[in-house]
Amino acid sequence: MLLIPCPVCNMARPEREFRYAGEAGLVRPHDPGAASDQDWTDYLFARANRKGVHEERWRHLHGCGRFLVVTRDTVNDRVLQSVPA
């Protein structure tokens, strides 16, 4: 169980109040019609799946409802930073 600091509510809250929302920093192709199949594949499916420091989106679903960008070490699950998305 993670303890995730919510910068909006200004307190650390248990993981169960949050919903994981995937890797942070994925950008949807700006011009969908011009994007190639490979662009779509990269956006929709390819993930860094980093072993180590990972930036990810969480939503404080049962709290303020805001999306956050949480930096976490995926080896020891320690949350290093949490900022509003």
Partner 1 sequence: MRGFSFLRILQESVSGHRGWREQWRSPEPRKSYDVVVVGGGGHGLATAYYLAAEHGVRNVAVLEKGWIGGGNSGRNTTIVRSNYLFEESAALYEHSLKLWEGLSRKLNYNVMFSQRGVMALGHTVTDVQVIKRHVHANRLAGIDAEYLDPRQAKAFCPILDISRDARYPVLGASLQRRGGTARHDAVVWGYARAADALGVDVIENCEVTGVRRDARGAVSGVETTRGAIGTGVLALVAAGHSSVLAGMAGLRLPIESFPLQALVSEPVKPVMPCVVMSNTIDAYMSQSDKGELVIGAGTDAYPSYGQRGSFQVASSTLDSLCELFPVLRRLRMMRSWAGIVDVTPDRSPIVGPTPTPGLWLNCGWGTGGFKAIPGSGHLFAASLAAGRPHTLVAPFGLDRFSAGRLIDEATAAAVSH
Candidate residues 15, 24, 43, 55; the one interacting with partner 1 per rule CB under 8 A: 15
Query: Is residue 56 at the binding interface for partner 1, with CB under 8 A as the rule?
Result: yes
Count of residues that bind partner 1 according to CB under 8 A: 26
Report yes or no: 1 and 15 within 8 Å, Cβ to Cβ.
yes
Candidate residues 9, 11, 46, 80; the one interacting with partner 1 per rule CB under 8 A: 46
Report yes or no: 43 and 29 within 8 Å, Cβ to Cβ.
yes
Task: Name the amino acid, one letter, at 11.
Answer: M
Query: Is residue 37 at the binding interface for partner 1, with CB under 8 A as the rule?
Result: yes
Query: Is residue 33 at the binding interface for partner 1, with CB under 8 A as the rule?
Result: no
Query: Is residue 75 at the binding interface for partner 1, with CB under 8 A as the rule?
Result: yes
User: What does the binding site for partner 1 look like in residue numbers (CB under 8 A)?
Assistant: 1-2, 15-16, 19-20, 37-38, 40-42, 44-51, 54, 56, 72, 74-77
